[in-house]
Chains A and B, each alone.
Chain A
Amino acid sequence: EAGVAQSPRYKIIEKRQSVAFWCNPISGHATLYWYQQILGQGPKLLIQFQNNGVVDDSQLPKDRFSAERLKGVDSTLKIQPAKLEDSAVYLCASSLSSGGTGETQYFGPGTRLLVL
């Protein structure tokens, strides 16, 4: 079974530029998550989708971050314009159903973003 795929793996941009990350979850997984992991910290949930609807985006800085999950499969996370403090690893995860139980979230390898 293929895991969660993410691209690109690394990205370096200058502040005020825009950037987009792509995630393909495990086939059949209804729920998709985007996390931000700043160096030295645990992952922090940015947004959660169930199918193509947003369940929670309370921690997403909506003035600069946006995310979509068209057709309930792939997802993109965009930052525009980027700030220095956006330097982090962006992790995508997926789970089989609603995530409301003790089910496992499966993580992709992450995209490491450096904003100069």
Chain B
Amino acid sequence: AQSVTQLDSQVPVFEEAPVELRCNYSSSVSVYLFWYVQYPNQGLQLLLKYLSGSTLVKGINGFEAEFNKSQTSFHLRKPSVHISDTAEYFCAVKAAGDYKLSFGAGTTVTVRA
């Protein structure tokens, strides 16, 4: 079975500063990796996903993530955050050939002016 660990539960950051959210996974087989964002009182929205190919994945709203197989990581980055990026971010993993999506506990990002 696969699992996901998000290493930071809360990340405060100033507006226009960079942010990195860390995600590590464990799986005995190949995986697909996802980052979702959840704004207050809303459902989850896909930011980006890694299926295969280039290890650097670009998503919506200026986010990108890098898949590192040797370190079993899929960290999310944004070079300059906005107040509107305040939200909860979830890393998720799905084993190839499986249908079940396993989520991490989430990282709350609070952007301050």
Majority-rule SS of A interface residues: loop
Is B51 located at the chain interface by the 8 A CB criterion?
yes
Contact A109 B99 (CB under 8 A): no
Question: Count of chain A residues with Cβ under 8 Å from any Cβ of B?
Answer: 26
- Which residues of chain A are within 8 angstroms of B103 by Cβ–Cβ distance? 42-44
CB–CB A41/B99 < 8 A = no
Q: How many residues of B contact A (CB 8 A)?
A: 24
A41 touches B43 (CB 8 A): no
In chain A, residues 30-75, which have Cβ atoms closer than 8 Å to a Cβ of chain B?
Answer: 31, 40-45, 48, 55-56
Given A109-B41, A109-B42, answer yes or no on A42-B90 (Cβ-Cβ < 8 Å): yes
Looking at the assembled complex, report how far the CB atom of B24 sits from the nearest CB atom of chain A, in whole angstroms. 14
Is B99 a contact of A42 with CB atoms below 8 Å? no
Which residues in A have their C-beta under 8 angstroms from that of B44?
Answer: 43, 91, 93, 107
> Is the Cβ of B105 less than 8 Å from the Cβ of A55?
no
Q: How far does the alpha carbon of A54 sit from the alpha carbon of B105 in the complex, in Å?
A: 26
Between-chain CB contacts (< 8 Å), 12 pairs = A31-B99, A42-B4, A42-B105, A43-B44, A43-B103, A48-B100, A55-B99, A56-B99, A99-B99, A100-B97, A100-B99, A109-B41
B positions within 8 Å CB-CB of A = 4, 32, 34, 36, 41-46, 49, 51, 90, 92, 94, 97-101, 103-106
